[in-house]
Structures are given as structure tokens and as C-alpha cells.
Amino acid sequence: MSNIPETGRTRRVTIRLVVLQILVLSLLGTLGGRLWYLQIRNGSQYTAQASNNHIREVVSPAIRGEILDASGQVLAGNQTKLVVSVSRTSLLEQKDHGKAVLTRLAQVLGMNPKDVQDKVRLCDAKTPQPCWNGSPYQPIPVTDQATTQQAMQIMERGEDFPGITAQPTALRQYPGPDGANMAQVLGYLSPVTDDEVTKTANQSGKNKYLPSDQIGRAGLESVYDNDLRGTTGVDRLEVDNLGRVIGSAGTTPAQPGDNVVTSLDARVQKVVEDNLNQAMVDARSTFDTVTNQNFVADSGAAIVMDVHTGRIIAMASAPTYDPNLWVGGISAKDYANLTNQASNYPLLNRAIQGQSAPGSTFKVVSTSAAVQAGYSLDGHYPCPSSLTIGGREFKNFEGESAGDISLEKALEISCDTVFYGLSYDQWMKDGGIHPKNPADWFYKTAHQFGLGAKTGIDLPAEVPGRVPDRQWKTDFFNANKDAWCKQAAGGGTDYATQIARENCVDGNVMRAGDSVNYAIGQGDTLVTPIQMATIYSALANGGTLYKPSVAKAIVTPGGQLVRDIAPQVSGKLPDDQKTLQYIDQATAGVITEGTAAWKFTGAGWPQDKIQLHAKTGTAEVYGKQTTSWLTTYSKDYAVVMTISQAGTGSGGSGDAVRRIYQALYGVDDKGNIDQTKALLPTPQTALPKFNPDGTAILQPASYSYDYPSAPGHSAVYTDLLALEPALRTPTGRGRA
């Protein structure tokens, strides 16, 4: 008899069907639960999101705030240009997707049709530049170089150019009043990257930046970007499922950015830039007897600082560039020219990023260190033509001998061997190559002067310099020992291999030669011009180290104060008043009788009426010509200049620094003082006044101002508002 049930199904088949039924029921249950979750529990949320899918946002960029000098002149503003833009939404509504319209547009603009089409295509991973990286609903700019005639053709023949607009728009401009450049201080703008858009999203998912935004990339444009950028406006458009605009869902007007008032003086900046450039030109025409060729003078920097606040009056860096190259997007050719070795990297701000040995300008630090170590200001110290230390001869720069002299005289004539002797003696007291609890006064004092650390200036990418103390020696040895030993094993006889051979053995030891070289600002010591300006300002004001600053205040477009940026004290020099007065007297002697006398009192400077103080420096660099340093101060200003491969401190920079002081105080070439020709006889401390329309009331920079509260809009926007009244906003400022 058969065991097969009447249904014809075996037990195994029955089990399989039951399992299948259970699986189907489970899937249906899961699907039902998910539908309940989406449609009932979170239904309102997804309904809102679905509704938002029909809203597209069109951005109205905010007009960027201005950067002003101390008297209110515009250093970085906005220029009204006719910008031709294309609406992709309108193009897609046409049968050929706008190809004919773009071709006609190219003919009017005198452009290649393919170039126009490329500019309005959307960017993706496979599409190379040029392309549009913003919202597809945003008008896409094709050119900002349109002429009035071209704009009129487009607007008068609207039927031939559907979706094409030509209207005045504010673009960044660096006008450079009085011809000043200020490229490295002001910085520049460039488009935001995709990473920056996504990484700046807040907790709600809203991005700080939009794909079409321009942001500050260097200088003040970068540091104060949040103040300058304003708030972007948004037009919300209702679209159907084909992306066609069917209505408006509201508009949020753009709010213009605030202005940054700086301590810079455009007139002084122009003088500093011109004299730095002239000093480099003069150096290139001067013969270097050491290398038997003219000086190269390949780069330099100069700073004018208010000694009582640390505020920057002028800051120049060479080589430089035109910041307007970045407006509207920099070309590949221009970018390559700014970043290749042949150009010597003009994007660098050498006032805060240029590091070099300070040479004898460092001797004010060594003088202070000697006093702290117990050496007397009333003592006399030998100044022979050379000293032999550790089997090596260390010479005065020009091989002179002056007998036993005071520290004051050593500073005046810049006697290296006095400082060699002091440093060597202290090195021996510290235990030589086998130190036990060394005092390290010469290194500690440098740190107390703020060296080896950033000053904190409100400009980006400042570098800290270097104090080659024992910790640095150890760290540097550990990082480079293997490379030194490998080079030494090669058996070469050149200077670099000899040094590598020594360092392979005891590169972590503070040798006598390290200490004596350090005492005169040579060896591994590195400083920046901004650090030296800060130090010499402190010598001028009685010992207070200020945190350098460029910005003085943030103000509204109408001139109302948003916030003040007050000077900040960063420290005190370790010197007592007796030591400061001693150094003050010695540095005045550099001008009257010392290494800078031939460029100042010998050239007619009225030292009895306007007392200057100085220290020259001639830093030796292996494989290069000497670096010229001149660090100076008056009762009002510190002026620092350095030029790479330009010779001696006074020879390379003396004339230029004297001319800067002549311009500041109104001194002619014969030493006569004319106050009416003085650009800035005392630093300007107050903020400028503004007219009711926001334009600055330009006064002599030394004039003292009260701060206004009258609303209005800034002058740079007047042209924009006059050209296009429809761009006016309730705030009184125009918007792009």
C-alpha cells in the first residue's frame, strides 16, 4: 500500500510550503511596518521634504564689505561691472536646449561659442573646467567684461536672448590708493571648494558656504572673512516635476558685509613699497667683492609699526603681485607664474613668513642676556680682530680691532668678538660640552624677547622662527642623524659633508662654536621681520611687547562701530629701566657714530631734533650673498627692513629706511623739517569719521576723530546703486 497522502504531497513538501508561507507573511509584516513608519509616524516629516523637493533656491550674493586704511580710504572694495549671465532653466525649455541662443550670445560678446557653452555646463567628476559648480537654478555668469553696447544689444533684443541678462554687479577690486599695492596684506578671493561646502555644514545640515561663494584665501580677506562676507540672499522658486519655474515661495534679501578699518596708511605704504623696491634695484647695481658679481637682491620685506600699540602702519613684501589677478577667477597661466620658482613665490608675505638669520640686529638680545648673566654694563670687554675657539678662528666681520670697549661701543660699531667672548665665557660657566644645570642665559633671553614663537599678528600663516637652544639641538639631531651619517659615509670633502660628518658624531651637543655664532645672530637662529619690529618697538616704548595687529575695528556699511580691536600686550622685556636706557643710548650712537652714521647723520639727518635709534645687521648665509638687516626706531615708529642677498645692513637698506623716516616726519635731503610735508608725524589713534551716506571724511591721518553713529551706505557702492536702483535693499546698501 502507498504512503503518499491523498493530496499528493509528501511530508517534506508540506514542511517547505509552511516555511515559505511563514517567510511571505514575515516579509509582508515588515513591509507593512515600514509603511506605517513612513506614512503615519513620520508622515508629516516626509510630506514636508517632498514639498521641499519642489522648491529651488536662487542665491543673491551679498556685497562684500570694504577694507579701509586708517583715514578711511578704500584698500579693497568693489567695482561695478556689467556681468552677462545665463539661466539654465530657460535654456532647457528651448527645443535645442539653448544652443542657438548661446551661439548668438557668443557672436555679440566676441567669444568662441564652445567657450560659452562650456561655461554654462554643470560641473561633475567627469567634466573639466570651465564649468558651473553652483546651483543649476542660479544665473550662471559668462563674462564680467561686457561693454555697454553689448549689454544694450542683449537687453533690447530680449526675444533673441531668452534667459540672458546683462546687469551691473559688484566685483572685488583692489584700487591701491596712492598707488599702494599691499597684495600680501590684503589677500585675495577665490571660489569655495566642494570640501569646504560640505565640511562647514552645521548640525541642522545647513551649509556655511554655497557652491557659488567666493571666500578670502590670504591676508585680511581670509582672517576677517566672516565679517566681510555678509549674509547671502535667497530667492525661493517653485518648480514642477520637470524643473520648470511655476511661482515664487518667498525672498530673503542679502545683507551686505561689514567693513574692516585698519591701522595701515596708504600713503606711507606707497613710500615703503617704493623704497624697498628701489633699495633692491640699487643693490643689484652694486658689486659684491666676495662673490665677484653684483648683489642679487632677490627678496625683501619692510615694516612700519606704531611702537605704542603694535599696530602696523605699513607692511611691504617683495617680490609682489597684482591681487586683481584673482578677481573673477585666476587663469592657469597667471597661477603658474605666481607659484613657480622662477617668480620667487610672490604669494609669500616675507614680513611674517620670511625667516633668516638676524645678524648683528640680534646683539640687543645678547646684550640683555649678558646683563642677566651678571656681566656689568660699566665693564669693558676686548674687541680683537679675531678669536680662536675650539681650534677655529672667529673674526670680526671686517677684521677690525678696537681694544677694550664697553657694551655700548660694541653695539655702536657692531664688534662681533666682544659678543663671541661673552658667549664663550658663559658657555664655559654652563659646563661646556658636559653641562650640569646650565643657566643658558643667551637662549632664555631670546625666548623672553618673544623669539622662537609667533607674534600672533592678525594675518594668516605666520611662522615662528627658531631659537636653537638645547631642546632644539636634540630634536634636530634625532630627526637628521641618519641622513648626516649617510652623507658622511660618502667620503666627500665639501663643506656640507664636513658639517654632516661633525653632526653625525655629536650634532646633539651644544658646542662652543654654536654658542658664539648664536650670540651675533648667526648659525641656526632664524627670525622674521615682524618679530624684530616687535622687539625694537618694545625697546622704544620702555619694554612692552605688543601683539602686532593690522585691523583696528569692524564697522557697519554706514560707519557704526560693530567692535573695536584694541591693542594687546603679549609680554615684557626682561630688562630693567637702566638696561633699556643703556641700549637706547647705544642704538642712538649707531646713528651718530656707528655703523649707520654714514647713511643718516652723515647724510643730513637732524638727529638733534628727531632722534633715531638703529642696529645694523649683515647675516652670512652659506652658498649665498649676505642678507641686509636694518632695525630702527624713533619715539613713534619702528622701521625694519631686510633684503636677501643685498650686502651690509646699512649699505643695502640704509638709504631706503632714511627716506621712509623723511616721508613720515617731513624731512628733506638737507635735514630741514617741513611739518606740512610730513605724512604721519604721529600715529593716528582714532577711527575715521563717516558721512551719513557711509563715505569716509578723509582728513590728515594725524587728525583726532570722534566716532559717528549715523547710518548710511559705503561710498564704493554708490556707483552700483546709481546704475541699478532696483538693486537697493532696505539696509541702504546695494546688493549684487
pLDDT exceeds cutoff 50 at 728: no
Residues whose CB falls within 8 Å of the CB of residue 727, separated by 6 or more in sequence, listed in order: 168, 720, 721, 734, 735, 736
CB atoms within 10 A of CB 301: 28
* pLDDT-derived band at 726, boundaries 50, 70, 90: very low
Which pLDDT score is estimated for 701?
44
Do residues 631 and 536 lie in contact, with contact meaning Cβ atoms separated by under 8 Å?
A: yes
pLDDT exceeds cutoff 50 at 156: yes
Task: Look at the block and give the residue holding cell 643657566.
Answer: 439
Which pLDDT score is estimated for 284?
97
> Which phi and psi (to 5°) does residue 80 adopt?
-80, 120
CA distance 8 to 23: 23
What ranges make up the beta strands (E) of 240-297?
A: 245-252, 259-262, 287-288, 293-294
Which of 12-16, 326-330, 445-449, 536-540 is predicted least confidently?
326-330
Which pLDDT score is estimated for 711?
31
Do residues 88 and 120 lie in contact, with contact meaning Cβ atoms separated by under 8 Å?
A: yes
Most confident of 110-119, 160-169, 194-203, 510-519: 510-519
Alpha helices in 378-494 (DSSP H): 407-413, 416-429, 441-448, 470-489
pLDDT exceeds cutoff 50 at 381: yes
Percent of the chain residues topping a pLDDT of 70: 87
Which pLDDT score is estimated for 206?
62
pLDDT exceeds cutoff 50 at 257: yes
Mean pLDDT of the 397-423 span: 92
pLDDT exceeds cutoff 60 at 3: no
Residues paired with residue 391 on neighbouring β-strands, in sequence order: none
Which pLDDT score is estimated for 546?
98
Kindly state the cell numbers that stand for 211: 557652491
Which pLDDT score is estimated for 713?
31
Which pLDDT score is estimated for 704?
34
- CA nearest to 68, candidates 168, 182, 229, 190: 182
Kindly state the cell numbers that stand for 549: 595687529
Mean pLDDT of the 497-503 span: 90
Report pLDDT digits (tens) over 185-244: 999 988 777 677 777 665 555 667 776 678 899 999 999 999 998 887 777 777 766 666
Kindly state the cell numbers that stand for 463: 611662522
CA distance 33 to 42: 12
Mean pLDDT of the 156-178 span: 82
DSSP 158: G
Report pLDDT digits (tens) over 263-307: 999 999 999 999 999 999 999 999 999 999 999 999 999 999 999
Report pLDDT digits (tens) over 465-478: 999 999 999 999 99
Which pLDDT score is estimated for 237?
73
CA distance 234 to 624: 57
CA distance 129 to 145: 19
Which pLDDT score is estimated for 733?
29
E strand or H helix at 314: strand 312-318
Buried-state track 590-623, b at ≥16 Cβ within 10 A, e below 16? bbbebbbbebbbeeebbeeebebbbbbbbbbeee
What ranges make up the beta strands (E) of 174-284?
A: 189-191, 214-216, 233-239, 245-252, 259-262
Helical pair 416-429 and 363-372, crossing angle rounded to 10 deg: 40
Which pLDDT score is estimated for 732?
29
CA distance 550 to 263: 6
DSSP strand pairing (287-288 vs 293-294): antiparallel
- CA angle 340-343-346, nearest 5°? 95
CA distance 450 to 569: 12
Compute CA distances 147 → 116, 142, 255, whole Å. Answer: 17, 13, 28
Higher-pLDDT residue of 93 and 530 is 530
Residues whose CB falls within 8 Å of the CB of residue 428, separated by 6 or more in sequence, listed in order: none
Higher-pLDDT residue of 707 and 455 is 455
Higher-pLDDT residue of 50 and 246 is 246
Mean pLDDT of the 245-262 span: 83
To the nearest whole number, what is the mean pLDDT of the chain?
A: 86
pLDDT exceeds cutoff 70 at 47: no
- CA nearest to 166, candidates 186, 148, 187, 184: 148
Do residues 36 and 28 lie in contact, with contact meaning Cβ atoms separated by under 8 Å?
A: no
* pLDDT-derived band at 312, boundaries 50, 70, 90: very high
* pLDDT-derived band at 440, boundaries 50, 70, 90: very high
* pLDDT-derived band at 515, boundaries 50, 70, 90: very high
Mean pLDDT of the 298-325 span: 96
Report pLDDT digits (tens) over 594-627: 999 999 999 999 999 999 999 999 999 888 999 9
Most confident of 29-38, 114-123, 152-161, 608-617: 608-617
Which pLDDT score is estimated for 332?
72
Q: Would you say how long the chain is, in residues?
A: 736
- CA nearest to 510, candidates 390, 370, 671: 390
Do residues 725 and 709 lie in contact, with contact meaning Cβ atoms separated by under 8 Å?
A: no
Which pLDDT score is estimated for 724?
31
Instruction: Assess whether the previous peptide bond of 319 is cis (omega < 30° from 0).
Output: yes
Which pLDDT score is estimated for 363?
98
Kindly state the cell numbers that stand for 201: 555644514
Which pLDDT score is estimated for 41?
62
pLDDT exceeds cutoff 80 at 6: no
Burial of 75 (0-12, 13-18, 19+ CB in 10 A): buried
